[in-house]
Amino acid sequence: MQSISGIVYLILIACLLPYVFTMIAKKTAGFKGRDNQNPREFLAKCDGLAARANAVQQNSFESLPLFIAAILMAEYMVVHQSVIMTFGTAYIILRILYGICYLANWATLRSIVWILSLLCPICLLFLVIKLT
């Protein structure tokens, strides 16, 4: 069996990344502890940088299931470790770049980076399909 520690780190980073953008959204919106009664409603009413950071956070959570499924399926089907790590690392880097583009309000570049990040788990799943 392949060493899975690198894969565990990829999944952990991908799972924690949305929370980084949540903190940015709350910080830029002036979120206080008293707002914790309904933080989703508070963030939904934000605009500007805080709204964009909240959108990154939501999109980051939305992309997690595909990424985690692809990584675990690739590991299960014994796709070579270096291939899994390459696509997984590319996904993480692209998701960080996606967040930066979103925060900077670079819509076209953001969309390109989003597509590239989406292709990483899709390529892994195509490799899994090829092995079946």
Domain ranges of the chain: 5-131
Statement: residue 1 has pLDDT above 60: no
Statement: residue 35 has pLDDT above 70: no
Secondary structure (3-state) at 80: coil
Residues written for the chain: 132
Q: Burial level of 47, CB count in 10 A (0-12/13-18/19+)?
A: exposed
pTM of the model: 0.91
Instruction: Give 120's Cβ-side CA count (13 Å radius).
Output: 26
Most confident segment among 27-31, 32-36, 46-50, 91-95: 91-95
Residue 36, token pair as written in the block: 């914790």
Q: Please, what is the average pLDDT of the chain?
A: 92
Task: Tell which CATH architecture fits domain 5-131.
Answer: Up-down Bundle (1.20)
Instruction: Kindly list the distances between the CA atom of residue 38 and the CA atoms of 33, 43, 89, in Å, as whole numbers in the listed order.
Output: 10, 9, 34
